[in-house]
Amino acid sequence: MARRPRRSMSQINVVPYIDVMLVLLVIFMVAAPMMQQGVVNLPTVGKSDREVNATPLRVEIAADGLLKLVDKSDSRTLSDANALVAAVQEKLVAEPERPVVIGADKSVRYELVINAMDALKKANVARVGLQVQAR
């Protein structure tokens, strides 16, 4: 009996690759609905939704973190966010829809701005915004 010489197989067996791809497909199909996608609604700058008839109250935060409430020609320096809330609520008794604008120095920590804004929002101040300077 004569033996045939073995020939090398020049084909790739793709069945294991298909199995791996199907397992990965199932994993991604199960995991995709569980991923939370963040949706950020950014405000537009060009137009405002309401026309502002009153001059806004300005809260200025200096580089050293000092709070100042400015209303037309009246200016008051405040010690903390609670004093700020009390002063703003006192000013808003006559006009509750009057906007409050927070302006801060570039070197102020972002946390101070957010704390002031959060305190005003918790006190139910209707319109709180950030002051920016046009370039």
What is the residue-level pLDDT of the chain in tens, covering all 135 positions?
667 777 777 788 888 999 999 999 999 999 988 876 655 454 455 555 555 677 889 899 888 888 999 888 888 888 888 999 999 999 888 888 889 999 888 788 888 889 999 999 999 888 888 887 654
Residues 88, 54: Cα–Cα separation, whole Å: 15
- Structural domains of the chain ordered from first start: 57-130 (3.30.420.270)
Radius of gyration (C-alpha) of the chain in whole angstroms: 31
Q: Is the dihedral of CA 104, 71, 123, 87 positive or negative?
A: positive
pTM of the model: 0.59
In angstroms, the CA 111 to CA 107 distance is 12
